[in-house]
Amino acid sequence: MKRLRVILLFLLLGAIVNVAVAWGIASILTIEDTMSNDETIGMSVVEYETWNLSRYEAFGTQIFMSTRFKVHNEEEELLELTELWSEHPIENVKPSWGSMDVATELYRTLPGPPEHTMVQEIQMYEARGWPMHSLWCLRILLVHDGTGNNQNQASGFIAIPILFFEDLEPLVLPLYPIWTGFALNTIFYASLLWLIIPGPFVLRRFIRKRRGLCLKCGYDLRGVDHQACPECGEGIRKGNPA
């Protein structure tokens, strides 16, 4: 039972480090950095009328972006990205981890622009985490020239705006887990902590046991016929090699 508790504790610590790393990357490496990064790879653009789909990658970061101009119409659902993704073989610009349901929900929270205005719509699926991507979020931005709000930005319930840098993007920390990546990262960091924190002690104990030394202080117990270590008083366990 004690061993199980220790394993669970390390997994919890691993999960915390995993989230901290993903959020650290999100706060250091902005969207703009990712897009202008020299390490940007695998960017591909699909032209679908005026619709651009792109993929950007940087350290611990993957961003899928959909940009288009459209005439806003209440009756016309803004979920055509799903259709586009399902109808066209564009796997390289489609996230394997994001959920379309989230986009639907997010659109419901957006105050809609006036009917029949020209809207620039940006959808951004963003994953963070290292060595695997473990958390993701979605941002939808509607830019229009109608009356009232010219810009509706939603990072919504899937991201935490902590700091606002003037009028720029809020710091967005992804919350949705990418389960495979989240599990593997958690195990990865838990193992790392396991090695770093108690590793040396476990190793020392193992070596002392093998050599027949006191587990606590390292006193040579071979040939000693006591119930306790004469050096430190630690009880001598049965099975200690004589």
Query: Could you tell me the smallest distance in angstroms from the CB atom of residue 220 to Zn ion?
Result: 10
Should residue 212 be labelled a site residue for Zn ion when binding is judged by CB under 5 A? Answer: no
Q: Which listed range, 76-84, 152-160, 165-173, 223-231, lies at the site for Zn ion (CB under 5 A)?
A: 223-231
From candidates 52, 82, 216, 240, binder to Zn ion by CB under 5 A: 216
- Of residues 107, 130, 188, 219, which one binds Zn ion by CB under 5 A? 219
CA separation for the pair 18, 231 (Å, rounded): 43
Judge contact between 170 and 126, C-beta under 8 A. Answer: no
Can you tell me which of 6, 197, 228, 232 binds Zn ion, judged by CB under 5 A?
Answer: 232
Q: Parallel, antiparallel, or unpaired: how do β-strands 176-177 and 151-154 relate?
A: unpaired
CA distance 170 to 185: 26
Question: In this chain, which stretch among 33-41, 69-77, 170-178, 213-221 interacts with Zn ion, using CB under 5 A?
Answer: 213-221
Other residues' Cβ atoms within 10 Å of the Cβ of residue 181: 22
Structure tokens belonging to residue 220: 């040579």
| Residue 217 within binding range of Zn ion, rule CB under 5 A | yes
Q: Which residues contact 211 (CB under 8 A, 6 or more apart)?
A: none
- Residue 231 binds Zn ion (CB under 5 A): yes
Q: Does 228 bind Zn ion (CB under 5 A)?
A: no
Determine if 57 is a binding residue for Zn ion (CB under 5 A).
Answer: no
Neighbouring residues of 213: CB distance < 8 A, sequence distance ≥ 6: 219, 220, 221
Interface residue list for Zn ion (CB under 5 A): 214, 216-217, 219, 229, 231-232, 234
